[in-house]
Structure 1
Amino acid sequence: MADEREILDNSAFARRVRIASARLFAHGIREGDVVAIVLPNRIEFVIVLFATWRLGAAATPVRPDATYDELRYQIADCAAKVVVTEGGRGVDTLDIAEVCATESGLAIPDATTVDTEALALIIYTSGTTGQPKGVMLDHANVAAMCAMIVEALNLDVTDHSLLILPLFHVNGIVVSVLSPLLAGGQTTIAGRFSASALFDLVERLQPTYFSAVPAIFAMLVSQPESAAPDTSSLRRVICGAAPMPAELIDKFESRYGVPIIEGYGLSEGTCASTLNPPDGPRRPGTVGKPLPGQTVAIKNTDGSDAAQGEPGEVVIRGANVMRGYLARPEDTARTIIDGWLHTGDVGYIDPDGYLVLVDRIKDMIIRGGENIYPKEIENVLHSYPGVLEAAVVAAGDPVLGEVPAAYIVAMPGTSIDTEDLLAHCAKTLARTKLPTSIDLLDSLPRNPVGKIDKRKLRAFAATR
């Protein structure tokens, strides 16, 4: 276990965890309590996480750049007993320097035998449809998810994960830290992400993989052509959080010579539910097949199974499905029905069993009574030379109700003629699906986990 400041072997890491557990115990943390961790990516985050679990408590990671109100909301919502951070935040906190000291005169408490049904993590959603909700994941959820990841990615003692995603998100915790450690491998935690410096880290540290989101791969593709890093240590890289356009996958793989393993999942499913097979065949444009131990199905609005190849809501069943939303039984009942986790995503399963995501249900555009999925338009926009990123949202229309509005980010050094781009779309899309406007932006707004923030784009479109 390492970060950019220190390297800990297993015995040193275990010792630091025991000392941290003594500090937490001295501050009243007991089995069933909640510890809030407000830290950037650093080794102490993982030490506190393991120390919390050693005492039988649950951890709730908090965005380190959260506003005061966001911080107070999450702490109050989950009734965190201790907040571990650095430099205070205007709330009662326990400073990380004290928790993770290398020496302690305190007695080390015995490790608690943790029930698999005990809470391990409370992960807060990004709150794009209201106040963030606490996703309750127990130890059985986390253990099942890690086992699935280890098996699906064939992780072993030779694997070295480079963590670049934030640790306040379950992807960073499960895919980049817990799974490689459980497989006997190692993890190095990178500090603040920099697209221009990432491959310097890869060349120096020689990781076998890293996990990222489409926005990061777009930034890497847009690096100067003169950059020609040594990527030979990378066996694969993993993409999640949002579907990645096939064109962007091809650009990255062609340039860097590293296969992208695209998957799909959500916090409510402890991270991942499908993955393109690492040993192939990988199928760009899909998010792969269900992970071992999970069942993925497509449901109609009446709850019946959709016909083969027909779109409907993606639902998931398995040991990875959350216990529910903290203190929100109504939301839980609407999301988990008869054991199926309802994702709010529209998709279909192709004849070979690969899941194809069509769009989010809430992002659907209703134009004069016709349902239009933005992702279909975005895929066509992405196929135009020079387009790096594309997003389509609903804009208001006095006659039709809603119409598609497109927002584009161009590749560096590339100019895009919006009229020509619209003509390109017209070759593939029906007239009713054509964007009524195309705006060129320097960047697209994103939420804390790197997904395009369509709520902000819709608000922007409403002002036009």
Structure 2
Amino acid sequence: MIDSSPLTQLPWAGPAAGSARPCVQDVHRALTYAQLEDEARAFAEQLDELGIRQGDVIGIMLPNSVELVVATLGAWIRGVVATPINPTLTAREVSYQLEDSRARLLVGAAMEGVDVPSLAADELRRSATSRDAITVDPDRLALLVYTSGSTGSPKGVMLDHRNLEAMATSMAQHFGLTASDHALLVLPLFHVNSICVTLLAPFTVGARVTVLERFAPRSFVDAMERFQPTYFSAVPAIFAHLAALPADERVETRRLRFAVCGAAPVSPELLQRCESRFGMSITEGYGLTEATCASACNPVSGIRKPGTVGPALPGQRIRVVDPRGEDVPTGERGEVAISGPTVMRGYLNRIEATAEAIPDGWLRTGDVGILDEDGYLRIVDRIKDMIIRGGENIYPKEIESVLATHSAVLEAAVVGRPDPVLGEVPVAFVVLAPGAEVDADALIAHCRLGLAKIKVPVALEILDALPRNPVGKVDKPALRHSLAAV
């Protein structure tokens, strides 16, 4: 039996359902809550006619736009799972995600080398014929969001509608959102951050969303002036770009209640510079896709502790544990573990990886943190080798695997190098096969054939041998140290 409790993150189930209130807009067009529901219904009907059935998966590979929002919501009306795809991925990467998720349709431009039927954005139907009641099962999968693990193989994080409802309502509660709020969505909608913080959370209170196709300093400044939002969510690289604006550049913040910074570590000094210069209040948070988005966040009003990511969000619990899963004393380091209704159902078709990530009902994040006496969390290290470039997660193993396909490469190791704007950038170290001859530029060009631009190493060094620790594993800390010493 389907749970009848309302999923208020869905615009037809929230407080503004069916109304003429402004709902979502991009630079091309705007929809009211009633119009968004109608277009989502129309796309759901279109999916039915295309033979897409309840429980099927569709890939959505569109730039940030009203059409992307319509396609996602229409899929959910039909009972279909959406897997959002980064439009900058290569054909190899897109094919992997579509094949792994068993997607039956790609909403977006056809791509050479991708063997899945496609439907372009301008082919989405805009008017529905049915006005039947919409019923969405809270336990049905809603999203398959792909993220890489330590093996480098992208994994589909399974999030159901109940996960999204818990996250969206928690965000709305924590930030005190009301119908008068106006979110400026600047992060890509293939991330749960944008989906939850600046799209679904506003829907739960009947607020308004303006979608920017992408972040660029000039367009952002113009959007702040034109739309005068009450909040936005961004990554540290965006705040670094804002801090680097010319001294006479003004950013309109009169109606801005707060901004959110997350997805990557950020220095308190950078946030303070932006707050002082632009008169904005920035609250830092922490989370991961496997917990639907955010698990901790400093409050908008109340005690904010610079250098921390705040306390656990409503409905979630955070522990810091030792390798046995036992709590460490307050103020000591350990692995951050999370529980609550936002924790994922698991990784698609990866039982062992799911059991490793959630061994005892608590999601093990792979991050090292400290909880203080007030329950505020400070992230101090990462257990995994993940590189975070401008808020985008990059996994070295994937880059190493692509390098290994070059006939001249014997071994490869990739680590992150600190970057003042992006946080980190990938750098590769390669050992050539005996007798092989190739230069660094050729190997980087090889990476461009199979990797999205952000994953391509910014530098590559050819070594006689990779450093190794006593048990024979590549000594990545030594490689990082060599970069820091340059």
Task: Calculate the TM-score normalised by the size of structure 2.
Answer: 0.75
Partner of 2:296 in structure 1? 274
Whether 1:315 aligns to 2:337 is: yes
User: Does the 8 A contact of 1:293 with 1:318 survive in 2?
Assistant: yes
* 2:217 match: secondary structure: coil
* 1:243 match: secondary structure: coil
* 1:133 match: secondary structure: strand
Partner of 2:26 in structure 1? 3
Partner of 1:179 in structure 2? 201
Across the two proteins, how many residue pairs are aligned to each other? Answer: 391
The letter of the residue matching 1:409 is: P
For residue 254 of structure 1, report the CA deviation from its aligned partner.
Answer: 0.8
Question: In structure 2, do the counterparts of structure 1 residues 453 and 267 end up closer, same or farther at CA, with 3 Å as the change threshold?
Answer: farther
How do residues 441-456 of structure 1 correspond to structure 2 at under 5 angstroms? none
| CA distance in 1: counterparts of 2:247 and 2:482, whole angstroms | 38
| CA distance in 2: counterparts of 1:410 and 1:34, whole angstroms | 37
Whether 1:332 aligns to 2:343 is: no
| CA distance in 1: counterparts of 2:303 and 2:26, whole angstroms | 34
For residue 68 of structure 1, report the CA deviation from its aligned partner.
Answer: 0.2
Partner of 2:124 in structure 1? 100
* 2:92 match: secondary structure: helix
Question: In structure 2, do the counterparts of structure 1 residues 82 and 4 end up closer, same or farther at CA, with 3 Å as the change threshold?
Answer: same
How do residues 114-125 of structure 1 correspond to structure 2 at under 5 angstroms? 114-125=136-147
* 1:343 match: secondary structure: strand
Whether 1:298 aligns to 2:305 is: no
Which of these residues, 357, 365, 369, is aligned with residue 343 of structure 1? Answer: 365
Partner of 1:144 in structure 2? 166
For residue 57 of structure 1, report the CA deviation from its aligned partner.
Answer: 1.0
Which of these residues, 249, 256, 265, is aligned with residue 243 of structure 1? Answer: 265
How do residues 281-430 of structure 1 correspond to structure 2 at under 5 angstroms? 281-363=303-385, 407-409=418-420
For residue 183 of structure 1, report the CA deviation from its aligned partner.
Answer: 1.2
| CA distance in 1: counterparts of 2:197 and 2:131, whole angstroms | 29
| CA distance in 1: counterparts of 2:327 and 2:207, whole angstroms | 41
| Residue segments in structure 2 that go unaligned for 5+ positions in a row | 1-23, 389-395, 397-414, 423-450, 462-475
Question: In structure 2, do the counterparts of structure 1 residues 408 and 135 end up closer, same or farther at CA, with 3 Å as the change threshold?
Answer: closer
* 2:166 match: secondary structure: helix
Question: In structure 2, do the counterparts of structure 1 residues 70 and 180 end up closer, same or farther at CA, with 3 Å as the change threshold?
Answer: same
Which of these residues, 25, 32, 35, is aligned with residue 12 of structure 1? Answer: 35
Partner of 2:3 in structure 1? none
How do residues 171-210 of structure 1 correspond to structure 2 at under 5 angstroms? 171-210=193-232
Stretch moving more, 287-296 or 224-233: 224-233
Which of these residues, 21, 26, 39, is aligned with residue 62 of structure 2? Answer: 39
* 1:171 match: secondary structure: helix
The letter of the residue matching 2:261 is: C
User: Does the 8 A contact of 1:298 with 1:315 survive in 2?
Assistant: yes
The letter of the residue matching 1:256 is: F
| CA distance in 2: counterparts of 1:117 and 1:448, whole angstroms | 33
* 2:163 match: secondary structure: helix
Partner of 1:67 in structure 2? 90
For residue 88 of structure 1, report the CA deviation from its aligned partner.
Answer: 4.3
| Residue segments in structure 1 that go unaligned for 5+ positions in a row | 365-373, 376-392, 394-403, 412-446
User: Does the 8 A contact of 2:64 with 2:214 survive in 1?
Assistant: yes
For residue 23 of structure 1, report the CA deviation from its aligned partner.
Answer: 1.1
| CA distance in 2: counterparts of 1:119 and 1:194, whole angstroms | 33
| CA distance in 1: counterparts of 2:351 and 2:460, whole angstroms | 29
For residue 101 of structure 1, report the CA deviation from its aligned partner.
Answer: 3.1
For residue 192 of structure 1, report the CA deviation from its aligned partner.
Answer: 2.3
| CA distance in 2: counterparts of 1:450 and 1:342, whole angstroms | 27
Stretch moving more, 79-88 or 339-348: 79-88
Aligned residues with identical type, % of pairs? 45
Which of these residues, 225, 233, 240, is aligned with residue 218 of structure 1? Answer: 240
| CA distance in 2: counterparts of 1:128 and 1:221, whole angstroms | 33
Partner of 2:52 in structure 1? 29
| CA distance in 2: counterparts of 1:148 and 1:203, whole angstroms | 29
| CA distance in 2: counterparts of 1:454 and 1:120, whole angstroms | 36
* 1:337 match: secondary structure: coil
| CA distance in 2: counterparts of 1:45 and 1:93, whole angstroms | 17
User: 1:98-148 CA deviation, whole Å, 9 max, x = no partner?
Assistant: 5423357xx549566332111010000145640111000011111111111
User: 1:244-303 CA deviation, whole Å, 9 max, x = no partner?
Assistant: 111111111011110111100000000000010110211110000000110000100121
* 2:368 match: secondary structure: strand
The letter of the residue matching 1:283 is: K
Question: In structure 2, do the counterparts of structure 1 residues 5 and 314 end up closer, same or farther at CA, with 3 Å as the change threshold?
Answer: same
Whether 1:79 aligns to 2:90 is: no
Stretch moving more, 240-249 or 286-295: 240-249
Question: In structure 2, do the counterparts of structure 1 residues 89 and 282 end up closer, same or farther at CA, with 3 Å as the change threshold?
Answer: farther
Which of these residues, 118, 130, 133, is aligned with residue 155 of structure 2? Answer: 133
| CA distance in 1: counterparts of 2:130 and 2:162, whole angstroms | 26
Partner of 1:51 in structure 2? 74
For residue 452 of structure 1, report the CA deviation from its aligned partner.
Answer: 12
| CA distance in 1: counterparts of 2:194 and 2:378, whole angstroms | 24
User: Does the 8 A contact of 2:27 with 2:212 survive in 1?
Assistant: yes
